[in-house]
Structure 1
Amino acid sequence: MAIYHLETKVISRGIGRTACGAAAYMSCSRIYNDYDGIQHDYTRKQGLVWEHIFLPPMAPAEWQEREMLWNAVEKAETSKDSRLAREFIVALPVELGRDEWQMLLTKFIQEQFVSDGMCADVCIHDTDGHNPHAHIMLTVRPLTMDGKWQYKTEKEYLCMKNGVECGFTAAEFKTAQNDGWEKQYPYKAGKKKVYMVPSAAEAQGYVRADKHPKSTRYGRQNPITARWNSENQLVLWRAAWADTVNAFLERSGREERIDHRSHAERGLDEQPTIHE
């Protein structure tokens, strides 16, 4: 019978995964990763029922080809521990047919992810008819309206004015500088190194220790990325999957329903099962 299962993972180089490798695995295909020169070949893997790539309007058309999409993602990320993609694994209701699974996933992906600017790669797996499920890979870096990758985090400089410290991005600082804000740099004050604005340091005859201005440790996160990564957004996605599945079950005349809430949230005393 229909069960609720939605598992989410982050595909990151930090844990030894690549977007190209994950995409090749779920699509039972062969993908060459330009970033590390490794070819991932899963053409012998069985169980692929359906696959499709969904793109928002601003994404380049050539990204309809899986290898080009995920190599574009790999190229945009230069860090050895970069987060490359987000993966959802969802259980599909056995009460519905394959055509309905495709329509169900299309509706869910278009409404929840593509409409918000993500590229989505989806594959349905069903090896024995008892565990139909889908893998959904999503891009984690927002796109500009002309199809270029946006930043995930932007450097934020800690500036001073009249004894008050405030953070500005490079673009914001151009305006703030006209209002009297100054970046802080490290200066040699005897044997110590202190951060000061240039006007104050010059008045005391201090020599700059290096050229790097004071900044926040992690920078300022893109507000779109911050929302996608939030726990509240995950709760909304989990609820949306349950609502979409239940709407399709109802439309098919089925009585079965799924619920994204935990047994405790639903007031149930029974022990939850373990998904296998």
Structure 2
Amino acid sequence: MASYHCTVKAGASSSASAHAAYIERDGKYKTKSRGDLEAVESGNLPSWAERGSDFWKASDSYERANAKGYREYEVALPREMLPAQRLELVRDFIRQELGDRHAYTFAIHNPRATLEGGEQPHAHIMFSERQRDSIERPEAQYFKRWNAKNPEKGGCKKGDGYKSAEQRKTELVALRERWAFLQNGHLEKHGHVDRVDHRTLKERGIERMPTEHLGPTAAAMEQRGIPTRRGLAKAQREADVAEVAGIPELSRRLRADCVQLVKLEAAKPDPTPSPVKPDQVKPNPIQERRRQEEMSVQIVKMWREIVQKEREEHLQELTAKAFETAKAFSVHFQAHMDAEPMLFGRKAWEAKRVAMDRRYDRLKVDYDELKTGRYPFLSNDKEAVQKEVLKRATAKQPKLAAAQAPAETILRARDQREQEERMQRAREEDRIRQAKKAERGQDRGYSR
């Protein structure tokens, strides 16, 4: 099935030719173990570069040492497509994103998955940020600084100027959306029903934990039977995913069992029961009750772990906030100390200094107590803390929160029943002791 992957990377000015050789499987990368090259192509090259390798070697030689030598799009390709169809998809993506403005080299790799053995087609598209224009420049001038007043005297313009981190993030999200739209168009064009989506699971409303990619090295070690940190983390995540996925069904069964248990306890036994056929035998109420109690213990345990985790995260947030508040107040306090008057207004200044000093000491005490896990400023309102923690836990695990209340009810009923049974056993033991004591007294009377 089609899978989605689209990332943007940047390479240093001295590493372009080495990376180009890697994706082209050229030079030292031309080995039997890397026989996964499906297609390779370069375009938008200047007249002095016959091949893509010529351009990237010139980039390593003449590009500024502190500049980016290239940018790269790494995208996953649908394995259900034919090689020619994948090549067509990559070429359309390059025409859409790069046009005729940037020199580029791309390669399509199609290795075999280490564990499952299926195809893993993907493309590396590296391109120069230098924008081509109608001016022919020799290779030494091509990578010089852009001259806005006299373009023919400078190099090709590089990029679109400075961009903030927020702008780059917005552009990356837009790029990922365009790649998903283009890929879905080609899937539909070639008669495939699968589609991809660039959005996160949370944005799509899917309540599922994300998976983790092992990578070729860890996958190869796992295949040889060598445990790895990534493999153990992946196994634990898969177990967590399966456990979380079973919560809705567990909650549904628990509610149904609660209703059934109420009906069984309300029903009065018939003193003269009629013979029951084997196929009409109902489950043992005691066994059903024990099964419900075991499930309830698991649900309550999971819920308490989540609540504890949310409490710790809430405490960390408050601690960081308290630190920032104390830090900002210390700056304000220092400014007040620096503005100490020599004569006039000193009394008012001294009164404010004393109040600020007390306030600063209180902030430091609050911060120290938060670090030890206590809520100093909410010591008289613990319910507010608990409500906030439960609110955060419920927002993250709504289905588990819904199953927690019936589970708590079942466990309380179990505890009450066990307490009554202990009291009943104690009364019975006391009755037996009293009977034995009376019997021993009668025996002593007969002996006299």
- Specify the TM-score bucket, using the shorter chain as the normaliser: 0.5 to 0.7
Cα separation, 2, equivalents of 1:105 and 1:120: 12
Which of 24, 27, 34 is the equivalent residue of 1:27? 24
Distance change (3 Å), C-alpha of 1:125 and 1:226: same
**Contact 2:104 2:127 (8 Å CA) reproduced:** yes
Residue aligned with 2:179, SS: helix
User: 2:92 aligns to what?
Assistant: 107
Cα separation, 2, equivalents of 1:231 and 1:64: 35
Bigger proportion of residues as helix: 2
Deviation at 1:150, TM superposition (A): 6.9
User: 2:370 aligns to what?
Assistant: none
Structure-to-structure mapping, 1:52-131, within 5 angstroms: 52-55=41-44, 59-79=45-65, 81-115=66-100, 117-128=101-112, 129-131=118-120
Q: CA-to-partner distance for each residue in 1:169-223, whole Å, 9 max, x for gaps?
A: 8x59xxxxxxxxxxxxxxxxxxxxxxxxxxxxxxxxxxxxxxxxxxxxxxxx966
Distance change (3 Å), C-alpha of 1:250 and 1:75: same
Q: Over aligned residue pairs, what C-alpha RMSD do you find?
A: 2.7
Distance change (3 Å), C-alpha of 1:107 and 1:227: farther
Cα separation, 2, equivalents of 1:112 and 1:223: 13
Q: CA-to-partner distance for each residue in 1:79-121, whole Å, 9 max, x for gaps?
A: 2x32110112111101111000000000001111134x11121
Residue aligned with 2:211, SS: coil
1:134 aligns with 2:123: yes
**Contact 1:120 1:136 (8 Å CA) reproduced:** yes
Which of 174, 182, 185 is the equivalent residue of 1:236? 174
Residue aligned with 1:230, SS: helix
Residue aligned with 2:198, SS: coil
What one-letter code is carried by the residue in structure 2 that aligns with 1:91?
A
What one-letter code is carried by the residue in structure 1 that aligns with 2:30?
T
Cα separation, 2, equivalents of 1:118 and 1:223: 10
Bigger proportion of residues as strand: 1
Deviation at 1:243, TM superposition (A): 0.9
Residue aligned with 1:267, SS: coil
- RCO greater where, 1 or 2, for CA within 8 Å and sep 6 or more? 1
Residue aligned with 1:135, SS: strand
Give the TM-score normalised by the residue count of structure 2. Answer: 0.40
**Contact 1:114 1:120 (8 Å CA) reproduced:** no
Extract unaligned runs of 5+ from structure 1.
Answer: 31-40, 155-168, 173-220
Cα separation, 2, equivalents of 1:150 and 1:225: 16
Q: CA-to-partner distance for each residue in 1:44-69, whole Å, 9 max, x for gaps?
A: 232111100121xxx41343502211
What one-letter code is carried by the residue in structure 2 that aligns with 1:63?
A
What one-letter code is carried by the residue in structure 2 that aligns with 1:224?
D
**Contact 1:227 1:233 (8 Å CA) reproduced:** no
User: 2:160 aligns to what?
Assistant: 224
User: 2:203 aligns to what?
Assistant: 265
User: 2:29 aligns to what?
Assistant: 42
User: 1:2 aligns to what?
Assistant: 2
**Contact 1:152 1:225 (8 Å CA) reproduced:** no
**Contact 1:141 1:151 (8 Å CA) reproduced:** no
Residue aligned with 2:39, SS: strand
**Contact 1:85 1:137 (8 Å CA) reproduced:** yes
Q: CA-to-partner distance for each residue in 1:212-258, whole Å, 9 max, x for gaps?
A: xxxxxxxxx96624469833322222111111110010011111000
User: 2:246 aligns to what?
Assistant: none
Q: CA-to-partner distance for each residue in 1:115-143, whole Å, 9 max, x for gaps?
A: 4x111211011122521111111112223
Residue aligned with 1:242, SS: helix
Residue aligned with 1:263, SS: coil
Residue aligned with 2:126, SS: strand
Cα separation, 2, equivalents of 1:234 and 1:151: 27
Residue aligned with 1:9, SS: strand
| Paired-residue identity, % | 28
Name the stretch that deviates more: 233-242 or 102-111.
Answer: 233-242
Cα separation, 2, equivalents of 1:21 and 1:242: 30
**Contact 2:63 2:144 (8 Å CA) reproduced:** no
**Contact 1:50 1:124 (8 Å CA) reproduced:** yes
1:51 aligns with 2:40: yes
What one-letter code is carried by the residue in structure 1 that aligns with 2:174?
L
What one-letter code is carried by the residue in structure 2 that aligns with 1:21?
A
Cα separation, 2, equivalents of 1:268 and 1:110: 33
Residue aligned with 1:99, SS: helix
Structure possessing the higher radius of gyration over alpha carbons: 2
